[in-house]
A = this chain, B = another copy of it.
Amino acid sequence: MQFEQITVVGVGLIGGSVGLAVRARNLAARVVGVDRDIRTLNRAVELGVLDSFTLDLAEGVKHAELVVVCTPVDRIAEAILAAAPHVRPGTIFTDAGSTKYNVVQGVGHRLPAGVHFVPGHPLAGSEKTGVQHARADLFENRVTVLTGTIEGIDPGAERTVEVFWQALGSRVVKMASPRDHDSALAATSHLPHAVAAGVAQIVPADWLTLSGTGFRDVTRVAAGDPNLWAAIFQANREAVQAALGSFTKRMDEFKRLLEAGDGAGLVRWLSEGKQVRDALGS
């Protein structure tokens, strides 16, 4: 697989890592970056992420065969719709958003004939943000989810995007329903992020000395970018509310067992969590 041109829209941690990974693997003759911040783009070229760049979305996508949209989740659909009139027939869009239903709804039926969209979500990332933290191996041994759209997916386009993420080292998992993706991610990623932030908030500065590796692990993701995460919570509100409801029920049960001094009940309650975590490995 080699593309003439891949264009990355939004050159942060994820977009930057796509650029580095594509260039490291020689998957494209040219990687072009589009961003709203000229300093980010200059930095990206210095870091070897991009061959060239432009601030003009239409200009950046006009020769692309594949456009990978890596903006925050509340701007993905609008970037695709703004770029679509300027691409050549056959061009494929994919994205890296942590939510899929809002993106799929936003794009709707509005793509020109012959222009394809295959929604994607590489489960890779970090509490760090910005192109300076981009890594060519960010997607290696990670899962990338591809979902359906409202219009249905073009099989050839889907196959191209699947092979693309596999070439970056990902294992591709297909989920027809963007809503199912969002429900699962609300539980495995979005709610855990909120909980980490909530735990961090209750510790006053003078108690931080009295924290160990457990606290560091539980709260690590809370260092993530509040703007990116606020957008994710808003884009996936209903599923996050459902996950929060389930979590609250579990914590209410913990509270009840604690108040009752029910040692055997606490052991059972903790064992249910341990069983899930042990299934994951370290």
Interface residues of A (CB under 8 A from B): 123-127, 142-143, 145, 173, 181, 184-185, 187-189, 191-203, 205, 207-224, 226-227, 229-231, 233-234, 237, 240-241, 243-244, 246-248, 250-251, 254-255, 258-259, 261, 263, 266-274, 276-280, 282
Contacts and interface: CB of A to CB of B under 8 A. Distances in A.
Contacts of A197: 254, 269-270, 272-274
Contacts of A217: 217-218, 220-221
Top-10 shortest CB links A-B: A197-B273, A226-B270, A230-B266, A200-B273, A123-B212, A188-B211, A222-B273, A200-B276, A192-B218, A198-B250
Identical chains bound together, number: 2
A264 B140 CA distance: 34
Given A218-B220, A226-B270, A244-B258, 5 more contacts: A217-B218, A226-B274, A230-B266, A234-B266, A237-B259
Contacts of A194: 251, 254
Nearest to A243: B202
B222 A196 contact: no
A226 to B, nearest CB: 4
A239 to B, nearest CB: 11
A234 B251 contact: no
